[in-house]
Chains A and B, each alone.
Chain A
Amino acid sequence: MTQASLRQTVNRQPLSRRIMRALQRYWPLYVMIIPGILYFLVYKYIPMLGIHIAFKNFSLKKGISGSPWLWNDGKEWYYWFERFFKSPANTQIIENTLVISIGKLIVQMIPPLIFALAISETCFKRYARVIQTVSYLPHFLSWVIIFGICTTMLGESQGVVNNMIKRAGGEAIPFLSNKAYIRGVLIGTSLWQGLGWSSIVFLAAIAGIDTSMYEAATIDGCGRFRKIWYITLPNLGRIFVVLLITKVGRILDGGFEQVYIFLNDRVASKAQIIDTWVYTQGLGKQQYSLTTAVGLLKSVLSCGLVLGTNALARKWDSSLW
């Protein structure tokens, strides 16, 4: 029996039989996947059932299923969404969220790419490896620690940077307590924290590029920059788009932990984001339904953004699916 006819025979078997066979044959793989499936089921899918409290008047006493639906409670179904949009602060926080997120998106995409190129082009591999390892370290620091470093470095009265400015005859700059600087500080610290870590993906992609292309280019007389321009960058295009699509999905997040730590009254008008607002309004005042509604809204919009970016990427034939 030839290979092709054998495949046909197998395909002709009923589906259940084929599944059974696959299970028998690859059972170790299927066993290994069980914890993963359980994880997603327990922590990601089952909690999703709770989303419907966005349309309920949630009460701790009555529980998720026992709480009354908004329309049975004399309210419109969009009551919580309306409450979010009616908040006098909402245009400000939406603007802040978008500006901070887009800023972070840019610094998490472009500089790591340049950094990865620089690392891969370094001749002294040992030196490159040391730089690479050092650049990963900030990724493992919590925002509390980074904030501590920032106050030591950027503080107005005794910060290292301001002390240097003052010694040089300048005036201290209130980096952490001035509206004009706070977004820059948030985006800058995000860059500092993520630069090395985000470059890993690019480095891996660069390592995967067929070296014969570079050899051919060398023979054709290409210099270093031409090789980067004509070989490395086009080869990184796809991974760049994939990363972009996943990051665009989180554009409404803005980074709660970081912003919450850096927030103070002086800068709140330029730094308060949706998540920090939800925290103070929702959890501070136990409005679980409100916070769920905002979360749901964010998820729907993010999902739309991911689909949109992917559709756009398809035009250049580098979509995720």
Chain B
Amino acid sequence: MKKLISLLLALTMLLSLCAFASAEEPVEIRIAVNSLGNGWPADPADDFVYQKILKDTGVSVKFDLVDNFYESMGTRMDIYDVYRIDIDHLISWGRDGLLLDLSAYKDNELADYFAWLGSTQLNAAYVDGTLYGLPQLYDGSKSQLNVTVRQDWLDALDLKMPETVQDLYDVAYAFTFNDPDKNGIDDTLGLSAQKNGGGEVYLFDTIMGSFDTVLGNFVIIRDGKVTNTLLQPGMVAGLEWCKKFVDARIIDNDALGTTGSDKFIAGQVGMIGVTWPGLWKQYGQDKIHNVNPNAVTSFFTTLKSEVGAEEAMYTGDLSTTNTIIAVNADISPEKLEAFFKYINYIIGEEGGNLVFYGIEGDHWVRDENGNIKMTENATAANYISTYQIFSRKELEYLQAKFPEAKQVFEATTGANRIWTYNSLVIEPEDIYLEDLASYARQQLLDFIYGDRELSQEEYDKFIQELNDIYQFDVYMQAAAEQLAAYGLVD
């Protein structure tokens, strides 16, 4: 009898322990990502954001870095609950049944997120009419495209900041041949660019923007109709200008393959088109001044349009091209609920400030106007960008984070852009879109570099080739239909 009682007692204690454990056990969500923020803590105990989220929501959010992300994920998908993926994978995994259809949660658990996100980029997450993902916020300030210029060189040669393509040519010419650094050696060049990761020919986009187009296959909307940058009427005139720059040898051809940033820092190039104003941040400025203490930088965002268009230069994809958050189709209801909790936490004010800036009082404080100001300790929070899975209100964030580059952020956010819609278009199965885009870029460069005769007639022939060989017209037809289905055109 005694034995039985003690056994029962032990069992009760054990059971209560289990009950206690399950009540306190946080729900863990594992998110697979292909990169982590700088200085990512190996141990969650050192991760103050993790701890705070755990404390406030009871959700344990674990980010896992997956090397060779897409190659590895094929065999590892069920380990993770949530994935940060690109639009191509959203389409293929969604069609494959690997991703959860989120449509049912749109007006309930995710209602606040959709209100926070706004409308247009949401379209990017639909595949064949099903909502498979949650896009990032893209509020137009995301890319800080600008041309950074050596103001001291302009002053030395008594030039002013370029406003038109002709000005740009004149300044680049003077920077190349009039010895702007006054060292008596012919060692400078007019215009360079950061190499763009997406394969766009960014070097010439400064010029092409004035002709309301971009070098490459980009779907755009003009006068309420779907069209393509390749079909823009200003294309040939723009290419002629690019050719003029190349023929005059005032442009850095190396920038087609490698970045020209180092040359700008080293004082070898006077103007550089950049996508992210790293040169404007303190460390960028320090680098420039290490080489030349008297260097002064300024910038411009757009040149005057040569074709009377409202948009003047630069591209931005209206839908998010890079990353979308998608959920494993087999996620358990508890985990899904926990994930929604996490989403609603980080789009709220407290959670938002936590994942954007860190802990109040430690990494940031509010100044007398109520604006967020980073403290000296802020670098300890560099890694937390990983937690910003839906990106951020960029302008607000960058101004707080890098006050020294404030003027660039403000100007670039306000700059006119050529909005593109490629990521909303799913190409018909028998079209080789990569080959089409690659061929278009190659031929456009052939026009510029004189490998192909540059005339309207020859350009029309090129478009005909695209239609005949690569089914460009079929692709554009599909684009028109799909964008109309989203309600973006009639």
Query: Which A residues have a C-beta under 8 Å from some C-beta of B?
Result: 59-61, 87-89, 151, 155-159, 166, 171-172, 174, 176-177, 179, 262, 264-266, 268-269, 272, 280-281, 283-286, 288
B432 contacts A89, C-beta separation under 8 Å: yes
Q: Which 5 interchain pairs have the tightest Cβ spacing?
A: A264-B257, A286-B92, A265-B441, A89-B435, A61-B96
A266 contacts B435, C-beta separation under 8 Å: no
**Chain A residues positioned under 8 Å from B269 (CB to CB):** 157
Most chain A Cβ neighbours within 10 Å, of B70, B71, B92: B92
A177 contacts B253, C-beta separation under 8 Å: yes
Report A45 CB to chain B, min CB distance, Å: 18
Most chain A Cβ neighbours within 10 Å, of B77, B96, B97, B441: B96
B189 contacts A268, C-beta separation under 8 Å: no
Q: Interface residue tally of chain B, by bracket?
A: 35 or more
Give CA–CA (A175, B77) in the complex, Å.
44
| B199: Cβ under 8 A from any A Cβ | yes
Give CA–CA (A176, B268) in the complex, Å.
19
Report A52 CB to chain B, min CB distance, Å: 16
**Chain B residues positioned under 8 Å from A285 (CB to CB):** 88, 92, 434
8 A Cβ contacts from B144-198 to A: 186-187, 189, 192
B438 contacts A265, C-beta separation under 8 Å: yes
8 A Cβ contacts from B416-455 to A: 432, 434-435, 438-439, 441-442, 445, 449, 451
Beyond the given pairs A60-B74, A60-B98, A61-B98, 15 more chain A to chain B contacts, judged by CB atoms under 8 angstroms and listed by A's residue number, are A59-B96, A151-B257, A158-B187, A158-B268, A159-B254, A179-B451, A262-B257, A265-B256, A265-B442, A266-B449, A268-B438, A268-B442, A286-B92, A286-B93, A288-B74
Give CA–CA (A286, B73) in the complex, Å.
11
**Chain B residues positioned under 8 Å from A268 (CB to CB):** 438, 441-442
**Chain B residues positioned under 8 Å from A88 (CB to CB):** 432, 435, 439, 469-470
Most chain A Cβ neighbours within 10 Å, of B189, B253, B470: B253
A284 contacts B434, C-beta separation under 8 Å: yes
Which residue of chain A has its CB nearest to the CB of B329? A61
A157: which of B189, B438, B441, B469 is its contact (CB, 8 Å)? B189
**Chain B residues positioned under 8 Å from A172 (CB to CB):** 249
Report B103 CB to chain A, min CB distance, Å: 19
Give CA–CA (A298, B69) in the complex, Å.
25
B88 contacts A286, C-beta separation under 8 Å: yes
Known: A179-B451, A265-B445, A266-B256. Contact between A89 and B92, CB under 8 A?
no
Give CA–CA (A264, B248) in the complex, Å.
22
- A-B contacts, 21 of them at CB < 8 A, read A60-B96, A60-B98, A87-B432, A88-B432, A88-B470, A155-B254, A157-B189, A157-B192, A157-B268, A158-B187, A158-B254, A176-B254, A265-B201, A265-B442, A266-B445, A266-B449, A269-B442, A280-B438, A283-B71, A284-B434, A285-B434
Give CA–CA (A60, B326) in the complex, Å.
15
Give CA–CA (A316, B434) in the complex, Å.
47
8 A Cβ contacts from B463-490 to A: 469-470
| B317: Cβ under 8 A from any A Cβ | no
| B252: Cβ under 8 A from any A Cβ | yes
Give CA–CA (A137, B270) in the complex, Å.
37
Known: A157-B252, A157-B263, A284-B434. Contact between A177 and B89, CB under 8 A?
no
Known: A60-B74, A88-B469, A157-B252. Contact between A286 and B89, CB under 8 A?
yes
B254 contacts A151, C-beta separation under 8 Å: yes
B451 contacts A284, C-beta separation under 8 Å: no
Which residue of chain A has its CB nearest to the CB of B465? A88
Most chain A Cβ neighbours within 10 Å, of B92, B201, B439, B442: B442
| B258: Cβ under 8 A from any A Cβ | yes
Give CA–CA (A89, B432) in the complex, Å.
9
B70 contacts A283, C-beta separation under 8 Å: yes
B96 contacts A157, C-beta separation under 8 Å: no
Report B246 CB to chain A, min CB distance, Å: 10
Give CA–CA (A269, B451) in the complex, Å.
12
B432 contacts A281, C-beta separation under 8 Å: yes
Which residue of chain B has its CB nearest to the CB of A265? B441
Which residue of chain B has its CB nearest to the CB of A174? B253
**Chain B residues positioned under 8 Å from A281 (CB to CB):** 432, 434-435
**Chain A residues positioned under 8 Å from B96 (CB to CB):** 59-61
Report B299 CB to chain A, min CB distance, Å: 21
